[in-house]
C-alpha cells in the first residue's frame, strides 16, 4: 500500500520508526444470568475487590520500578476509587434492585464515568477513564479472566490503540516500546504523560477513523514533535526520518551539555537566561535547569493562600529562603500583581466588567499603602546579602513610577529609623506591559534601572484581545508584528539611557521568538525552567549579526502568520 | 454540628492531589463529614468519597462548606479547614 500521512496532537517529542502493534483491550461480556441473593452477589463483589486491590498493589510496585512515583500513584488512586463509598453505594443499590453483580458493577461505573465526563474538562475526562479502568478490572476478575494487558509485546513496536488506561500500560516493557499513538486523548491524557515520563515519542488524538488505516504489523514513522504518523512509509521517507532522529539525538546531547553554562551567542555576546518562579520549589527547579537567576519572582502565591495578607515576618522568611536557594544568583522580585480576575478574600473588589482594565497590580498597591509598604519592607529586609532587584507591575505612566519610588524611599527611612537591617541599594525596574509604557519608554528609562517586558499582557493590551475569551483566543498572537515593534521600541529606549531590558512573558521562552529577541538586543530572558536548556542551545547557534538580520526581516513582515512561517524556516536552518 | 466555610486557593482546585489529600484526611476521622460547593450552590456530598468530591467541581477560588457530625466532629472540621488553608501543604 502507498504511504499515508495521519495528523494528530504532538504529545511527546521524538521520532520512532517500527512495526505497529494494534492493542485491543480484552472484550468483557456482561452475563445476563439471573441474580442470586443480594448477599451472595455482594460477597462475590467483595472477593473480586480484594483481588483487584492486590493486583493494584503489585502494579504500583512494578510501575515504580519502571517509571516514577507519579505514574505509580495512579494505582493508589485506583485503589481509593475501588473502596469509594459512592461506587460501593451505586453497586449495592443495583444489586438490591435485583441485578447480578456483573451488571451492577458495569452500570454503576458507567453512571459515575458519565457524571465525570459531563463536566467537560480534560481532567475529569481522565478521571472518568480511571473509574472505567477500575470497573473493568473488577469485571474481568468476576468473569475469571487473567490480567494480560500489554505484556504480549515480543519485538520493539509502536503501540497503536483507541486509548490506553494506566492498567493497559502498567505491564508495558519500555525496552520493547518505541512510541505510542492513540485515537483519542489530549496533552494531559494518561498516554501523553506516560510517554513524556518514559521519554518516548507519542501522538494522540488521531481520530477514530484514522486507526482503521493502521493494520497490525504495518511499518510506521511517528513524529512526536509534529504530531504526525506515516503508515507504510516509502523508503525515502524512512531514510529522511532516520536522519532526523540521529540529528535530534545529537542535538539533545548538545543541549544537555550546555545547560549548566552561561549563555553566549556564537560571537560571544552575553545573554542572561533566568527563570520565572512562583515559590521555593520552582526556585530549586530553576537552578537544576541551569537558570542564571530569577527574572520574575511572582509574589501572588503569598497573598492568595490565606484569608488575610501575609505578615512582614512571613514574607521575609519566604523571600529569604528563595534568595538562598538561588545561591548568589540575581532575583527580580515583582511586587504584588493581582486583580479582580483572581481576588484574595480580604480585598474588597467591586464587580468589575473588565478586571484586566480595572483595579489591579500597582494600582491596588498605591491605594492600599499598608499592604504595599509591608511587602517592600519585607523585600528590602530579606535582600541583605543577596542580589535582589524590585520590579513594579503594570506601570502605565511616570506618575505611578514616581509614587511607587516615593513609597520605597519612605520605607527605607522607616527601616533606618527602626534600626532594622535592610539592603539600601536595590535596583528598581518596571514591567513594560501596557502600550502606554512603551510609548513613554524613553521617559521612564530615565527614572528606573531596568525594564522587563511582560509580553502576555502587552500582547493582550496592544491587540485588544482578552486572552481568556475563547472566541478571540486565536487573535492572541505574541509574534504579531505590532507587538514585535513595541518590543524593539522598548529595548532601544532603555539602551539609549544606558539601561537594560529583560523579558518575562511566555514569548521569552519560545524558540521561534528567541532569534528575533536576540537580534533586537534583549539583554535578559526569563522563562519556565524547563525551557532553559533549549534556549541556551539556540542562542549559541546565533551570531549577533545573523540575529539582527532575522529581527529586521521579521519586523518588516505584515502578519503574525508570516512571522511564524519565516521563523519556522529559520529554526530549520539553525537545526532547532 | 460544626461547620466551616473555606475558599480553595490551590491552582487546580479540589482535584487531583488536593482532592486525594482531602479525602484521605476526611477518612481518618470516625464522624460523618460532608462537603458542599457553595460557589456553585451544590448539594452536600460524602467527604470521604473521592468520586463524590470530584463531581463537586471545586475550582480555584470556589468556597466550600465542610460539616461534620459525630465523634471528633470538631477536630475533623478544623483539620480539613487547616489543610485547605495551608494550600494543601504546598
Q: Are residues A366 and A485 in the same domain?
A: yes
Enumerate the β-bridge partners of residue A500.
A450
**Reduced to 3 states, what is the DSSP secondary structure of residue A337?**
coil
Q: Do B51 and A123 touch (CB under 8 A)?
A: no
Please, which residues have CB within 8 angstroms of residue A134's CB and are 6 or more apart in sequence? Answer: A52, A78, A81, A82, A87, A109
Q: How far apart are CA B80 and CA A448, in angstroms?
A: 46
CATH number assigned to the domain covering B3-89: 3.30.1340.10
- Are the beta carbons of A205 and A187 closer than 8 angstroms? no
B62 noted as active-site residue: no
**Residue A235: enclosing H or E segment and its boundaries?**
helix A235-258
Q: Are residues A493 and A360 in the same domain?
A: yes
**CB neighbours of residue A297 within 10 Å:** 28
CATH assignment at residue A220: 3.50.30.10
Q: Do A307 and B85 touch (CB under 8 A)?
A: yes
Domain of A508, in residue numbers: 259-574
Q: Are residues A329 and A247 in the same domain?
A: no
Beta A524-527 vs A500-503: how paired, if at all? parallel
Q: Chain A: nearest CA to B1, how far in angstroms?
A: 22
Q: Are residues A303 and A204 in the same domain?
A: no
Q: Are residues A385 and A453 in the same domain?
A: yes
Whether ipTM exceeds 0.95 = no
Q: How far apart are CA A61 and CA A40, in angstroms?
A: 33
**Residue A380: enclosing H or E segment and its boundaries?**
helix A369-382
**Grid cell digits, residue A522:** 534583549
Q: How far apart are CA B8 and CA A304, in angstroms?
A: 9
Interface of A with B (CB under 8 A): 77, 80-81, 84-87, 112, 115-116, 119, 123-124, 127, 131, 279, 281, 301, 304-307, 342-343, 345
Q: Are residues A237 and A276 in the same domain?
A: no
Q: Which of B9, B49, B60 sits opposite A84 (nearest CB)?
A: B49
- Are the beta carbons of A176 and A221 closer than 8 angstroms? no
With a CB-CB cutoff of 8 Å, which residues 30-89 of chain B face chain A?
45-46, 48-52, 54-55, 57, 60-61, 85-87
Q: What is the pLDDT along chain A (576 residues), one digit of tens a residue?
A: 689 999 998 888 889 999 999 988 888 889 989 999 999 999 999 999 999 999 999 888 888 887 777 778 888 889 988 989 999 999 999 999 999 999 999 999 999 998 888 776 667 777 888 899 899 999 999 999 887 667 667 789 999 998 888 778 777 787 889 999 999 877 667 788 778 777 789 999 998 888 888 998 999 999 998 899 999 999 999 999 999 999 888 877 788 778 888 999 999 999 999 999 988 878 887 888 899 999 999 998 888 877 789 999 999 999 999 999 999 999 999 999 998 777 888 888 888 888 889 999 999 999 999 999 999 999 999 999 999 999 999 999 999 999 999 999 999 999 999 999 999 999 999 999 999 999 999 999 999 999 999 998 999 999 999 877 777 877 889 999 999 999 999 999 999 999 999 999 889 989 999 999 999 999 999 998 878 988 999 999 999 999 999 999 999 999 999 999 999 999 988 875
Residue of A87, A305, A306, A343 to mutate for B, most B C-beta atoms under 10 A:
A305
> Could you tell me which chain B residue has the CA closest to the CA of A113?
B51
Give me the number of domains chain A comprises. 3
Q: Are residues A202 and A230 in the same domain?
A: yes
- Residue A431 falls inside a structural domain: yes
Q: Are residues A339 and A430 in the same domain?
A: yes
Amino acid at each position: 500500500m502507498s504511504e499515508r500521512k495521519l495528523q494528530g496532537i504532538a504529545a511527546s517529542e521524538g521520532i520512532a520508526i517500527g512495526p505497529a502493534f494494534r492493542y485491543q483491550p480484552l472484550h468483557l461480556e456482561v452475563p445476563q444470568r439471573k441474580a442470586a441473593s443480594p448477599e451472595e452477589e455482594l460477597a462475590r463483589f467483595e472477593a473480586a475487590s480484594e483481588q483487584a486491590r492486590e493486583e493494584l498493589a503489585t502494579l504500583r510496585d512494578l510501575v515504580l520500578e519502571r517509571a516514577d512515583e507519579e505514574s505509580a500513584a495512579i494505582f493508589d488512586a485506583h485503589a481509593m476509587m475501588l473502596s469509594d463509598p459512592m461506587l460501593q453505594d451505586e453497586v449495592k443499590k443495583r444489586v438490591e434492585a435485583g441485578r447480578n453483580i456483573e451488571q451492577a458493577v458495569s452500570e454503576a461505573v458507567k453512571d459515575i464515568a458519565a457524571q465525570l465526563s459531563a463536566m467537560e474538562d480534560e481532567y475529569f475526562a481522565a478521571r472518568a477513564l480511571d473509574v472505567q479502568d477500575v470497573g473493568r478490572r473488577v469485571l474481568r476478575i468476576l468473569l475469571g479472566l487473567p490480567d494480560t494487558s500489554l505484556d504480549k509485546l515480543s519485538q520493539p513496536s509502536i503501540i497503536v490503540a483507541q486509548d490506553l488506561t494506566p492498567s493497559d500500560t502498567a505491564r508495558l516493557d519500555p525496552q520493547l516500546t518505541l512510541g505510542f499513538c492513540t485515537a483519542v486523548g489530549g496533552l494531559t491524557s494518561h498516554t501523553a504523560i506516560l510517554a513524556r515520563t518514559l521519554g518516548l515519542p507519542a501522538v494522540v488524538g488521531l481520530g477514530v477513523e484514522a486507526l482503521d488505516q493502521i493494520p497490525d504489523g504495518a511499518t510506521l514513522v511517528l513524529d512526536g514533535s509534529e504530531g504526525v504518523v506515516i503508515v507504510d512509509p516509502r523508503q525515502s521517507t524512512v531514510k529522511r526520518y532516520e536522519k532526523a532522529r540521529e540529528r535530534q539525538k545529537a542535538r539533545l546531547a548538545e543541549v544537555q551539555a550546555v545547560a549548566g553554562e552561561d549563555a553566549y551567542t556564537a560571537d560571544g555576546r552575553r545573554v542572561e537566561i533566568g527563570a520565572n518562579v512562583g515559590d521555593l520549589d520552582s526556585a530549586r527547579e530553576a537552578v537544576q535547569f541551569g537558570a542564571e537567576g530569577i527574572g520574575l519572582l511572582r509574589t501572588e502565591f503569598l497573598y492568595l493562600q490565606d484569608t488575610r495578607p501575609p505578615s512582614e515576618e512571613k514574607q521575609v522568611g519566604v523571600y529569604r529562603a528563595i534568595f538562598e536557594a538561588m545561591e548568589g544568583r540575581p532575583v527580580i522580585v515583582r511586587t504584588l500583581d493581582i486583580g479582580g480576575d483572581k481576588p484574595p478574600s480580604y480585598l474588597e473588589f467591586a464587580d468589575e466588567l473588565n478586571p484586566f482594565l480595572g483595579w489591579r497590580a500597582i494600582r491596588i498597591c498605591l491605594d492600599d499603602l499598608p499592604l504595599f509598604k509591608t511587602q517592600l519592607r519585607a523585600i528590602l529586609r530579606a535582600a541583605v546579602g543577596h542580589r535582589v532587584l524590585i520590579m513594579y507591575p503594570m506601570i502605565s505612566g511616570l506618575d505611578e513610577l514616581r509614587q511607587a519610588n516615593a513609597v520605597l524611599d519612605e520605607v527605607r527611612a522607616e527601616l533606618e529609623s527602626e534600626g532594622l537591617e535592610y539592603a539600601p541599594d536595590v535596583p528598581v525596574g518596571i514591567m513594560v506591559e501596557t502600550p502606554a509604557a512603551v510609548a513613554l519608554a524613553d521617559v521612564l528609562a530615565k527614572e528606573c534601572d531596568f525594564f522587563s517586558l511582560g509580553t502576555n499582557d502587552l500582547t493582550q493590551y496592544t491587540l485588544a484581545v482578552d486572552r481568556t475569551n475563547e472566541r478571540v483566543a486565536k487573535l492572541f498572537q505574541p509574534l504579531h508584528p505590532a507587538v514585535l515593534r513595541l518590543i524593539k521600541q522598548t529595548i532601544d529606549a532603555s539602551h539609549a539611557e544606558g539601561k537594560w531590558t529583560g523579558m518575562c512573558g511566555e514569548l521569552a521562552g519560545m524558540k521561534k521568538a528567541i532569534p528575533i529577541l536576540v537580534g533586537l538586543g534583549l539583554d535578559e530572558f526569563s522563562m519556565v525552567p524547563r525551557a532553559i536548556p533549549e534556549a541556551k542551545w539556540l542562542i549559541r547557534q546565533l551570531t549577533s549579526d545573523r540575529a539582527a538580520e532575522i529581527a529586521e526581516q521579521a519586523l518588516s513582515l505584515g502578519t503574525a502568520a508570516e512571522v511564524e512561517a519565516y521563523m519556522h524556516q529559520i529554526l530549520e536552518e539553525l537545526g532547532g | 454540628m460544626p461547620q466551616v466555610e473555606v475558599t480553595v486557593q490551590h491552582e487546580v482546585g479540589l482535584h487531583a492531589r488536593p482532592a486525594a489529600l482531602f479525602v484521605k484526611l476526611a477518612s481518618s476521622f470516625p464522624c460523618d463529614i460532608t462537603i458542599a460547593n457553595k460557589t456553585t450552590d451544590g448539594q452536600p456530598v460524602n467527604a470521604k468519597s473521592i468520586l463524590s468530591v470530584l463531581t463537586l467541581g471545586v475550582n480555584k477560588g470556589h468556597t466550600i462548606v465542610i460539616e461534620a457530625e459525630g465523634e471528633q466532629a470538631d477536630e475533623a472540621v478544623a483539620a480539613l479547614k487547616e489543610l485547605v488553608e495551608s494550600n494543601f501543604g504546598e
